[in-house]
Structure 1
Amino acid sequence: MDLAEEILSRPYDVYARLREDAPAHRVTGTDGQPAWLVTRYEDVRAALADPRLSLDKAHAREGNYRGLGLPPALDANLLNMDPPDHTRLRRLVGKAFTTRRVEELRGPIRATADQLLRDLGEAGTTDLVSAYAAPLPISVICELLGVPSSHRRDFRAWTDTLISPDPSRPAAAKEAVGSLLGFLADLLAHKRRRPAHDLLSDLIQVRDAEDDRLSEDELMSLAFLILFAGYENTVQLIGNAVWALLHHPEQLAALRREPARVPAAVEELARYEGPALLAIRRFPRQEVAIGGVRIPAGETVLLSLSAANRDPARFPDPERLDIDRDAAGHLALGHGIHYCLGAPLARAETEIALTALLERFAHLELADSEVRWRASMRARGLAALEVRYGRTAPAC
């Protein structure tokens, strides 16, 4: 079994071994190209904020891992940019994800969560990912952007294909990208004809009224990234949190007794089982030293968020889920100028999703001990989470 297969099957065991062995390891990316993998908390945190490590593929050396390849119309996004372009674009969309704006969204988020749970009925068995953890964030982000509800199921299928490509269908990812391009082009054209009170209409106005501030590719790429990241991270955060709590019934019971502890618990759940194994790849502009290991300019650096979050040098007894732990400083949503733009919204959605779920169902347990994780080197999420639920606890 090679390292990539090991990480897919048991990531935390592998990361613990690598963390102890050396600060940085030469590994092979999913495309067969080499990269450096960094796993220790202090090294990862410092590298996330190091301006010498660029996200711009122009700084990548030929023959090194470069990550997911997208057409220019989707690639001109914040995950491939450094300042000043990164600063300019982030400022344009940042107002949609401020703490104040997120607070205004709490009511609609809770209403959506309650409706999804009512649709499940009084008791039964369901895949909580497809029935709850996925439709909640995709509904929220699509409402924010102004995406019609009729297109949301398709959008989820396309993004799932990009996150976890099926090796038996090598053309599927290309087809998904083509479908996304067509979908976004049609959506932006519709918003131009009929602007509304949503983020996409606002971004189009910036593009058309102040042409030097936002190119057409940047507009398309921003729409793609906000939809993609706004859905992906949160569905995994919610699903992983429920999975972790069901494996720690004493922690679940504590949250049932004291729902006010949920916000703090979300931070520990994000540390323990966050939505990403790796941050977006980086390319040194010049030779850098990480933990004493010298990495030449242009070679790819992969920063493991999940390995850093279980580093015993930063979090004592890190393999234990403890909702009373002070998990401040975890890196599940990044650090530095590339810190997850939608972090306040992801936190709010996860808090509300957990609170509504525990209030609705007095009984909740795993229905299948065989849990399958998505086959992704970057994302950490469940393919499904089969649970049994009920408004009342079963009789002994």
Structure 2
Amino acid sequence: MPLWGVEPDCNPKGACRLNSSNESAKNALFTPGFAQDPYPVYARMREEEPIAKLMFPDGQFGWMITRYEDAVDVLKDNRFIKDMTKIFGNGYQSIFTSNMLFSDPPDHRRLRGLVQQGFTPKLVESMREHIQQIADGLLDAVEGRSEMSLIDDFAFPLPIIVISEILGVPIEDQDKFRVWSNSIIGASNSEEGPQVYQHMQEFTAYLGQWFEKVRQEPGDDLISQLIMAEEAGEKLSEQEIYGVVALLIIAGHETTVNLIGNGMISLLQHPDQLRKLQEDPSLVKGAIEEMLRYNGPVEFSTSRWAGEDLEFRGHQMKRGDLVVVALDSADRDGEQFADPDLFDITRERSRHLAFGHGIHMCLGAPLARLEGEIAVNTLLRRFPNIRLREDAGELEWRPGMIVRGVKEIPLSL
């Protein structure tokens, strides 16, 4: 049964509309077909109830923010906290929450400061030639074939190779990372099951074994730097080093995988925009920004909680209330973006929220942008006749409430 007990009307391509104009848009949230095309539902949410109290797929009640201006204010309002232990106590802490994404100042500043030195725009730009070599090598492997699997053959291995090299973990373990990452990310809905906990334990055990190797033979990679900082004391705890590295492995490739996947779907569904980019590859920077805005790789922000009883836009929120920002909805807000449902790679640079906003804005954004630029232009240069092998409406979208992406994209070359 759908979450709200009312089945929406979904067409064969998965786009949903409400059965009656009198029904709330909330009735269509998280129902079958919603993942294929959530944007008509979001449009109604922004119009009817932009700050909505509802039940999420995991059974939690909380607030969903769907308008751009409200989203920005929530993301930078320090009354909404990220450290769940302040609300629920230390019993809820794990290695997957012991990092900058789930911390507040001053811990956030300390943790982020240790990591961001590995992701400065200048350092990332210096990796351009090497990332290009990786992209060409992956496409060399499918040269001469008539078809390819975009995610398996290209969109997944490219960023996982890059983040593995930055961190210093074995690239040959990338398939393990994919299983663990997909499982942990998918646990943001109610279908997680006991296998998720098994994968968490396997991931933790793997990291522990790798950290021991690094302590014995440190290198010049980022994990070695973090281990050395931990051993220097007062900079990083044992729990925090697990949390930071787990975050970097998972977030370090998830965003880029879905940026490439969702972006290519958007391009292939808009042949006029595809031709523009093929005729003028210099448009790629704007194209990537539009891909991020139009069908972004991160659909919802990670959880925030009201740190106190407060009022926000006339709504009374209690201490401990869950607050989630629908980033992809905010990026289709007509109050912020002209013709928001139009995919236009020449759109003037937009202040989209695909990488978040405020102190928790994704520190890997420069790397994700560069990987996206190289991936898209290289694909179009090497395979100018690239096409989807099946209707976009038939693609299976991944479950969960954080990332937005499809499981696989079959392409004709």
Q: TM-score range by the shorter chain?
A: over 0.9
Counterpart position of 2:303: 281
- Given that 1:8 and 1:377 are in contact with CA atoms closer than 8 Å, whether structure 2 keeps it comes out as no
Point out the more displaced range, 84-93 or 51-60: 51-60
Distance 2:351 2:130 in 1: 29
Amino acid at match of 1:173: V
- Alpha-carbon separation, structure 2, partners of 1:225 and 1:164: 15
| SS of 1:73 mapped into structure 2 | coil
Indicate conservation of the 8 Å contact 1:23/1:290, yes or no: no
Partner residue, 1:337: 359
Aligned mates of 2:192, 2:352 — CA distance in 1? 36
Whole-Å separation in 1 of the counterparts to 2:251 and 2:245 = 10
- 1:47 paired residue number: 74
Verify: 1:269 aligned to 2:291, yes or no.
yes
Partner deviation per Cα, 1:316-337 (whole Å, 9 max, x = no partner): 2111101111242100000000
TM alignment of 1:99-110, pairs within 5 A: 99-110=121-132
Q: Does 1:300 align with 2:322?
A: yes
Letter in 1 for 2:49: A
User: Please, which of 180, 192, 200 is the counterpart of residue 177 of structure 1?
Assistant: 200
Contact 1:271 1:327 in 2 (8 A): no
Q: Distance in 1 between matches of 2:36 and 2:277?
A: 30
Offset of 1:290 from its aligned partner? 3.0
Question: Could you list the per-position Cα deviations for residues 178-224 of structure 1 after superposition, in whole angstroms to 9, with x for gaps in the alignment?
Answer: 11001110111111111111000011010112x11110000111110
State the shift of 1:9 in Å.
4.6
Do the aligned partners of 1:43 and 1:290 also contact (CA within 8 Å) in 2? no
Q: Using structure 1 for the length normalisation, give the TM-score.
A: 0.93
TM-score calculated relative to the size of structure 2: 0.89
1:70–1:177 Cα contact (<8 Å) kept: no
* 1:13 maps to 2:40: yes
Please tell me whether residue 196 in structure 1 is matched to residue 219 in structure 2.
Answer: yes
1-structure distance, mates of 2:231, 2:175: 30
Equivalent residues in 2 for 1:132-281, closer than 5 Å: 132-164=154-186, 170-209=193-232, 211-281=233-303
Please name the residue that 1:385 is paired with. 409
* Structure 2 counterpart of 1:37, one-letter code: M
Q: Do the aligned residues in 2 keep the contact of 1:59 with 1:283 (CA within 8 Å)?
A: no
CA distance in 2, matches of 1:15, 1:299: 22
* Secondary structure at the counterpart of residue 214 of structure 1: coil
Contact 1:245 1:252 (8 Å CA) reproduced:
yes
Aligned pairs for 1:312-391 (under 5 A) are 312-369=334-391, 370-389=394-413
Deviation at 1:371, TM superposition (A): 1.1
- Between 156-165 and 18-27, the greater mean CA deviation after superposition: 156-165
- Aligned residue pair count: 382
Partner of 2:15: none
1:325-381 deviations in Å (ceiling 9; x for gaps): 124210000000000010000000000101111111121000011111111222101
- Give me the CA root mean square deviation: 1.7
Matches of 1:289 and 1:313, distance apart in 2: 23
| Per-residue deviation, 1:167 | 7.4
Matched ranges for 1:79-90 at <5 A = 79-90=101-112
Amino acid of the residue matched to residue 184 of structure 2?
L
- Residue 205 of structure 2 aligns to a residue whose secondary structure is helix
Alpha carbons of 1:213 and 1:168: their partners in 2 closer, same or farther (altered >3 Å)?
closer
Are 1:25 and 2:52 counterparts? Answer: yes
Aligned-partner SS, 1:379: coil
Structure 1 unaligned blocks of 5 or more: 63-68, 390-396
* Structure 2: 5+ residue stretches without partners: 4-28
- Higher relative contact order by CA 8 Å / sep ≥ 6: 1 or 2? 1
Residue pair 1:138, 1:230 contacting (<8 A) in 2 also? yes
Distance 1:262 1:125 in 2: 24
- The CA distance in 1 between the partners of 2:191 and 2:305, in whole Å, is 31
- Using the alignment, how far apart are the partners of 1:16 and 1:291 within structure 2? 19
Shift of 1:61: 6.5
1:4 aligned to 30, 34, 38, which one? 30
